[in-house]
Structure 1
Amino acid sequence: MKRLWAKYRQSRDEDHEELCTTNALVVAAVAEAKASSGSRRLDSQPGSTLNEERFRESRGNNMMEDYFVERPVFSEEVFRTRYRMSHNVFNSISSDLCRYDQYFVHKSDAVKKVGLLPQQKLTCSLRMLAYGAGADQWAEYCRIAKSTSIEAMKRFTRGIVNLYSAEYLRAPTPADLRRLLAKAERIGFPRMIGSIDCMHWQWKNCPTGWAGEYSGRKRVSTIILEAVASYDTWIWHAFFGMPGSCNDLNVLAKSPLFDELTTGRALRSNFK
């Protein structure tokens, strides 16, 4: 098994890294958008507590020195570990989001106070997705208030879905199937397209009346995400929304994964 794993790691195609990372982000963004509890941001009102001074400008400069300058404090390997992607992928997503939504553009407010950098908003959103962190957990590093973190997450997921879903949430083409089958055969898994598995997303604000249906063996309310991924971590199928008490077979029975096959509309391909 160790030899197969080593052979598999050596055979990974580095050329597909950017596409695969964006594909995974689309699936995570869709799941996060559906699981969002719809928290409402409170506006400033007379008599409300004054905003805290978070020194966001100096923290933004420190973040740039940590990761985004010519000679950063932390290396590319550390960046990849903490952001789950390369600098090139991050910069590409940042540029696309800034063109899509002016919310991510660095600008000053009505009193000429400099706002948050795109890197601060994207870092907060990405790490919430990558690590399952709460909205206020990154306040120390990104210096973003909880309400702003939630707003950035909502706009981030909406932007990712609208920008990339047409390209990265699609069915495989005949060329894709030929490439996947050929690659799988070379690494020792002939006639296999990809691997299927389910993961549980915790539903913190699950209604009490639904807790039994959505609680599994860990006694925590969760919603299940089913996904099919190929050797290069490209996600070809995602199905989200089944209660956490279901097992993988129950999810597969409800999943639309084989709908095209059973109706005779699937592409002709031999696989297991």
Structure 2
Amino acid sequence: MEDLCNHDSFWRQKVDATRKMGLLPEQKMTGALRMLAYDAAANQCDEITRMGTSTALKCLKKFCRQIELLYGGWFLRSPNPADLYRLLNRGHRRGFPGMIGSIDCIHWEWKNCPTGWAGAYSGRKGRPTIILEAMASHDTHVWHAFFGTPGAQNDLNVLGASNVFERVIGGIAPLVEFDVNNKRYTNGYYLADGIYPRWSTFVKTISNPRTEEEKHFCKKQEAYRKDVERCFCILQSRWAILRHGARLFKLEDLRAIMISCIILHNMIVQDEFVEEEFVEPIENDLMNPSMATVYDRPVHPDTGEPIQFEPVGRDGQNLPRFMDREFQVESLVMHNWNIDGNRV
């Protein structure tokens, strides 16, 4: 409340034209939070906050946009080297060296979708929806959120439009190196379900496991990729507005609501999650993989010293390096090596 009041005078209590004191900051923020947490309609907040419908909606929209503006830079950041080291350590204990988290999509029903857009936003269930792509870690912290794709698309279309690998291809993401079965890998990966492509940055399950090693790998992969599903369930249970159909008409308002709910969720996770409470036994891995190494900058292959980032773009000068890094992310050969290396 203090941050919002210092950022925008709208939240402060002011004197109106009739010399009467206006609404308190607590009233305005309580109305916005009740609509987010309990999916209360704007006119339902009148009994508690004593303000009109239009004022309640204005408070909700301003609250969501300013939460993203003030806290989105930190609570929706990409993993820094310290975060990556912690995530890779947990992946190593689980028997998946180089794993950062799991990725998946969820649909949010748009109850008041404009009639002209209903065809583009209606998916297989026949109702207009909007897709959220998210990457979550073991503590259900959301490290990547891409929202706004029409519900008629599938996960592959969302992946093609999202910026999940933008920092990796651009050469500004921390470098992750790990060894599995005497093979060196330079990209971390996400656990994904069957619809995602066979890229080096995705590790999927085996469709028809036959040996005991393959069955063991499938069991662990399918269990750990549910971290993002748990995150979606917690989001919907914590913020009821995401569990029911969206009643607003503008897509930018719905995006602000979704992103602000994710930011508040990450705040709660950071405040309440205790790493020691969820320590898992180290998997008995026949490969004996070494712990993944995280570099803030790329490392020279001969000297091992960090080097400066090379600019990568889509212009004529830097296009070859851009294409090389994109090919490395989308490599089918490296994906097959990941599967072969991690399933032992």
Among 124, 142, 156, the alignment partner of 2:63 is: 156
Q: Please state how far the C-alpha of 1:231 moved relative to its aligned partner.
A: 2.9
Q: Give the aligned partner of residue 175 of structure 1.
A: 82
Rg larger in structure: 2
Taking structure 2 as the reference length, the TM-score comes to 0.46
CA deviation profile, 1:54-80 (whole Å, cap 9, x unmatched): xxxxxxxxxxxxxxxxxxxxxxxxxxx
Secondary structure of the residue aligned to 1:182 is helix
- In the aligned structure 1, how far is the partner of 2:142 from the partner of 2:10? 29
User: Which has the larger share of helix?
Assistant: 1
Given the superposition, is the C-alpha separation of residues 268 and 209 from structure 1 closer, same or farther in structure 2, using an over 3 Å criterion? same
- In the aligned structure 2, how far is the partner of 1:195 from the partner of 1:119? 38
Secondary structure of the residue aligned to 2:159 is helix
Question: Aligned AA for 1:222?
Answer: T
Q: Give the aligned partner of residue 53 of structure 1.
A: none
- In the aligned structure 1, how far is the partner of 2:95 from the partner of 2:41? 41
Q: Which runs of 5+ in 1 are unaligned?
A: 1-93
Q: Please state how far the C-alpha of 1:136 moved relative to its aligned partner.
A: 2.4
- In the aligned structure 1, how far is the partner of 2:112 from the partner of 2:103? 28
Question: Aligned AA for 2:114?
Answer: P
Structure 2 residue 100 is matched with structure 1 residue 193: yes
- In the aligned structure 1, how far is the partner of 2:91 from the partner of 2:34? 32
- In the aligned structure 2, how far is the partner of 1:262 from the partner of 1:102? 41
Structure 2 residue 145 is matched with structure 1 residue 228: no
Q: Give the aligned partner of residue 27 of structure 2.
A: 120
Q: Which runs of 5+ in 2 are unaligned?
A: 177-186, 190-344
CA deviation profile, 1:8-34 (whole Å, cap 9, x unmatched): xxxxxxxxxxxxxxxxxxxxxxxxxxx
- In the aligned structure 2, how far is the partner of 1:198 from the partner of 1:141? 36
Q: How does 1:203-218 map to 2 (within 5 A)?
A: 203-218=110-125
Structure 2 residue 178 is matched with structure 1 residue 271: no
Question: What RMSD over aligned residues (CA atoms) do the two structures have, in Å?
Answer: 2.5
CA deviation profile, 1:151-194 (whole Å, cap 9, x unmatched): 11122123212212222232221121112212344467653322
- In the aligned structure 2, how far is the partner of 1:244 from the partner of 1:196? 17
- In the aligned structure 2, how far is the partner of 1:155 from the partner of 1:142? 16
Secondary structure of the residue aligned to 2:42 is coil
Among 26, 33, 49, the alignment partner of 1:142 is: 49
Structure 2 residue 2 is matched with structure 1 residue 95: yes
Taking structure 1 as the reference length, the TM-score comes to 0.57
Runs of 4+ more than 6 Å apart:
none
Question: Aligned AA for 1:271?
Answer: G
Question: Aligned AA for 2:49?
Answer: C
Q: Percent identity?
A: 56
